[in-house]
């Protein structure tokens, strides 16, 4: 009998083969499988969150259970087992309560192919989940309790967006993908997130690639250039190209087979718009592009900057970049690792762009950047966890986290890109917002204002002798005046929102009981929401208000109890949020939607203009699309005309 086998393995036998033997790992895996089968447990679970890898999360005795194919808020019967790293995983047996955000997946391979994880979630809610995931990672891995987090920038078209596919090939020459957990192969005829040209190429190659194990197909959406690797001379399809070309915002880029390039061309162009907006270059700045790749950002920013220093370590990408920056004399391209080159730079940098691999930046590179001390840093990341870690280092080193903007590059998956803006700490923002409301801060970001948020006073006194609008204006002005005493050289914005039912002012509830009482009183009825905004600049104070009529739906007592238990009502006037997608208390409204949210931008823009503050318009105005009262109207911001319903920006 073989000493390696050590006899026949029986179910009750726990004798292990010698450590390091061929069967050692197999033995451990088999024992784990037997244990999992024996310990599988059927539970009814309510899911509350999403894990970083896209699965929904419930809890069993304070231990997380990860289950694919479920949406937060749903309840399901689940078979739970203990898997890798002794974590608990589950498989849905029966769905008991379905989310209103659940839809039918478009793809017939969904579930068997794990390339898309969220096709069963409506697209709008995917964007919310991604934003929440970024917020959670920033808190858990960076210690940022309340970062300025913008709404996720959506895709204009969430299907057929990928310009790059990497197919696995089986022994029969069929192209397909491999399940991320079970590792089994599935042949596919069509992928709904691939560009149509790639799907046509898939059809032409299907079943004809017997001598290959992997095939890469890349396509220039704006050029019709393509690359198919490896070379397959036996086929009548051109292949083996060393590079292909793509255009971004009218500039052509060469991309070699080993070089990285964004897989979503349309969204890459929108990312460039956001980065250009955040940098706000005047034409004489020195910009460092620390992970330059094929020179995308360097080439796009060079015409707007005085000088760009681009750093890239991959030789293939550097060779591409030499072609891509041709004709741009103000770019210095350096081949090397960012963490090696940055300490050697002897320049006065005005701005830096970081777009590192998924693992993030090396600590030595961040330390070198801190010594370089650019006024502004733009950090582009595809991994919120490593982003949070690096942002903490930069903020501890003297930078202020100005904003984080999630960008959806990969719809129907859990992946999310982020564009983060940091400003050197000794550069004070010109505006102070007196509010702890994340939604108000998000709305102010839409005006392109660089600001810092400070807490508002808690001693709000509401008098029954005052008219409701007077109450709101008094409270807003009091907040602004309190902050102006310590920020006298800044423009200070104070805001206050109240709910008025039968001429009685409802402020923020003091506890859960008062929250439930307010919601019962509002149920099925119409009330007024008044938001007052006060602005103080150079000793001048100005205040005004907007009113909106809101009708509540006839929600149940159980819905009230669940919403109150979430804790959300406690910091909201009237104990509700109009934008809450789960409770969804509002049946309709007449007037300004953003007023109900808590900061009517139409009013704020007018007040800021009256006190002489110039505002730079943002390229994205999606929040304004919800404000039906503003349809067809416009506001002037910094010389630009903002079409507030459609979100378009035109020259004034």
What are the pLDDT digits (tens) for 150-179? 989 999 999 999 999 999 999 999 999 999
Coil, helix or strand at residue 318: helix
Q: Sorting pLDDT into bands at 50, 70 and 90, what band is 29? A: low
pLDDT tens digit string along 428-462? 888 999 988 888 888 887 777 888 888 887 666 66
Q: Sorting pLDDT into bands at 50, 70 and 90, what band is 605? A: confident
Instruction: Calculate the dihedral angle through the C-alpha atoms of 299, 302, 307, 309, rounding to the nearest 10 degrees.
Output: -20
Sheet holding 49-50, edge to edge: 41-46, 75-82, 88-97, 63-67, 56-60, 49-50
Please enumerate, as own/partner, the contacts of 585-590 that have beta carbons within 8 Å and a separation of 24 or more: 585/519, 585/522, 585/552, 585/553, 585/555, 586/550, 586/551, 586/552, 586/553, 587/551, 587/552, 587/553, 588/550, 588/551, 589/548, 589/549, 589/550, 589/551, 590/548, 590/549, 590/629
Cβ 236 vs Cβ 291: under 8 Å: no
DSSP string covering 509-527: -SSHHHHHHHHHHHTT-EE
CA 85 – CA 76 distance, rounded (Å)? 24
pLDDT tens digit string along 95-119? 999 999 999 999 999 989 999 999 9
Q: Which of 195, 233, 236 is nearest to 217 (CA)?
A: 195
| pLDDT reported for residue 507 | 82
CA torsion sign, 636 to 639 to 643 to 646?
negative
496 is annotated as an active-site residue: yes
Report which of residues 581 and 318 the model is more confident about: 318
Structural domains of the chain, with CATH? 128-424 (3.40.50.150), 431-611 (3.90.950.10)
| pLDDT reported for residue 461 | 62
| pLDDT reported for residue 10 | 43
pLDDT tens digit string along 345-366? 999 999 999 999 999 999 999 9
CA 272 – CA 95 distance, rounded (Å)? 42
For residue 218, pLDDT beyond 50: yes
% residues pLDDT > 90 (the chain): 69
Q: Which of 193, 175, 312 is nearest to 263 (CA)?
A: 193
Beta-bridged to residue 344, according to DSSP, are none
| pLDDT reported for residue 621 | 46
Please give the C-alpha separations between residue 301 and each of 84, 285, 290, 296, 634, in angstroms, as whole numbers.
Answer: 45, 10, 14, 9, 30
For residue 371, pLDDT beyond 60: yes
Q: Give the residue-averaged pLDDT of 28-45.
A: 65
Coil, helix or strand at residue 323: helix
CA 377 – CA 360 distance, rounded (Å)? 15
Q: Sorting pLDDT into bands at 50, 70 and 90, what band is 627? A: low
What tokens appear for 352 in the block? Answer: 């830096």
| pLDDT reported for residue 462 | 63
| pLDDT reported for residue 9 | 41
State the Cα angle at 446 between 441 and 448, rounded to 5°. Answer: 100
What single DSSP character describes residue 328?
-
Q: Sorting pLDDT into bands at 50, 70 and 90, what band is 427? A: confident
Averaged pLDDT score across all residues of the chain: 87
CA 17 – CA 26 distance, rounded (Å)? 10
Q: Which of 453, 431, 429, 447 is nearest to 376 (CA)?
A: 429
pLDDT tens digit string along 59-96? 988 899 999 999 999 999 999 998 777 789 999 999 99
| pLDDT reported for residue 617 | 52
Sheet holding 376-381, edge to edge: 331-335, 307-312, 286-289, 351-354, 376-381, 417-424, 399-407
| pLDDT reported for residue 629 | 52
Please give the C-alpha separations between residue 594 and each of 299, 622, 646, in angstroms, as whole numbers.
Answer: 38, 12, 15
* 3-state SS track over 405-438: EEECCCCCCCCCEEEEEEEECCCCCCEEEECCCH
| pLDDT reported for residue 31 | 52
Burial of 364 (0-12, 13-18, 19+ CB in 10 A): middle
Neighbouring C-alpha atoms within 13 Å toward the C-beta of 211: 7
The structure tokens 């506001």 sit at 635
CA 513 – CA 510 distance, rounded (Å)? 8
- Give the relative orientation of helices 363-372 and 384-396 as an angle to the nearest 10 degrees: 40
pTM score, whole prediction? 0.79
Residue 61: alpha-carbon gap to chain centroid: 31
pLDDT tens digit string along 292-341? 999 999 999 999 999 999 999 999 999 999 999 999 999 999 999 999 99
The structure tokens 């378009």 sit at 648
pLDDT tens digit string along 116-133? 999 999 999 999 999 999
Q: Which of 401, 382, 408 is nearest to 622 (CA)?
A: 408
Least confident of 1-5, 225-229, 547-551: 1-5
Q: Pick the catalytic residue: 496, 511, 544, 558? A: 496
């Amino acid at each position: 009998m073989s000493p390696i086998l050590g006899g026949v393995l029986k179910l009750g036998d726990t004798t292990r083969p010698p450590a390091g033997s061929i069967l050692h790992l197999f033995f451990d895996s088999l024992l784990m499988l037997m244990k999992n089968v024996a310990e599988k447990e059927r539970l009814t679970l309510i899911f509350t969150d999403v894990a970083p890898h896209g699965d929904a999360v419930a809890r069993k005795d304070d231990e997380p259970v990860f289950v694919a194919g479920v949406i937060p808020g749903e309840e399901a019967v689940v078979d739970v087992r203990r898997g890798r790293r002794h974590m608990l995983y589950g498989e849905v047996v029966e769905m008991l309560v379905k989310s209103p955000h659940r839809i039918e997946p478009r793809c017939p391979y969904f579930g068997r192919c794990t390339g898309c994880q969220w096709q069963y979630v409506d697209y709008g809610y995917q964007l919310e989940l991604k934003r929440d995931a970024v917020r959670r990672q920033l808190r858990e891995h960076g210690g940022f309790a309340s970062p300025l987090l913008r709404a996720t920038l959506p895709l204009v078209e969430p299907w057929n967006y990928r310009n790059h596919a990497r197919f696995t090939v089986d022994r029969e020459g069929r192209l397909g993908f491999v399940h991320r957990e079970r590792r089994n192969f599935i042949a596919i005829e069509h992928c709904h997130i691939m560009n149509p040209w790639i799907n046509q190429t898939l059809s032409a190659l299907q079943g004809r690639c017997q001598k290959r194990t992997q095939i890469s197909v890349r396509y220039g959406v704006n050029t019709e250039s393509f690359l198919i690797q490896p070379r397959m001379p036996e086929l009548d399809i051109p292949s083996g190209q060393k590079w292909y070309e793509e255009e971004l915002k009218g500039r052509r880029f060469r991309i070699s087979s080993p070089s990285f390039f964004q897989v979503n061309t349309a969204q890459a162009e929108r990312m460039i718009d956001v980065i250009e907006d955040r940098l706000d270059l005047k034409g004489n700045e020195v910009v460092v592009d620390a992970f330059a790749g094929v020179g995308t950002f360097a080439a796009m920013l060079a015409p707007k900057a005085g000088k760009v220093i681009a750093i890239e370590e991959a030789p293939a990408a550097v060779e591409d970049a030499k072609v891509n920056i041709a004709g741009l004399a103000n770019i210095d391209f350096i081949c090397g690792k960012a963490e090696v080159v940055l300490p050697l730079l002897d320049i006065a940098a005005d701005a830096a762009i970081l777009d590192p691999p998924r693992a993030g930046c090396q600590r030595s590179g961040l330390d070198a950047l801190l010594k370089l001390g650019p006024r502004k840093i733009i950090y582009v990341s595809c991994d919120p966890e490593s982003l949070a870690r690096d942002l903490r280092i930069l903020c501890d080193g003297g930078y202020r986290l100005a904003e984080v903007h999630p960008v959806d590059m990969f719809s129907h998956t859990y992946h999310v890109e982020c564009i983060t803006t940091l400003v050197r700490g000794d550069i004070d923002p010109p505006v102070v917002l007196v509010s702890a409301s994340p939604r108000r801060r998000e709305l102010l970001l839409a005006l392109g204002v660089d600001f810092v948020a400070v807490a508002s006073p808690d001693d709000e006194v509401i008098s029954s002798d005052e008219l409701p609008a007077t109450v709101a204006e008094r409270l807003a002005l009091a907040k602004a005046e309190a902050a102006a005493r310590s920020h006298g050289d800044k423009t200070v914005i104070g805001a206050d929102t109240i709910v008025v039912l039968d001429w009685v002012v409802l402020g923020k509830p003091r506890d859960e009981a008062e929250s439930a009482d307010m919601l019962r009183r509002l149920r099925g009825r119409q009330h007024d929401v008044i938001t007052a905004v006060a602005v103080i600049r150079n000793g001048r104070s100005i205040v005004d208000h907007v009113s909106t009529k809101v009708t509540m739906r006839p929600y149940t007592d159980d819905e009230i109890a669940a919403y109150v238990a979430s804790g959300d009502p406690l910091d909201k006037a009237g104990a509700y949020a109009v934008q809450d997608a789960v409770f969804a208390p509002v049946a309709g409204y007449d007037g300004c939607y953003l007023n109900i949210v808590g900061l009517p931008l139409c009013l704020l823009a007018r007040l800021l203009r009256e006190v002489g503050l110039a505002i730079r318009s943002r390229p994205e105005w999606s929040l304004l699309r919800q404000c039906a009262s503003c349809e067809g109207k416009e506001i002037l911001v910094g010389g630009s005309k903002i079409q507030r319903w459609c979100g378009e920006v035109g020259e004034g």
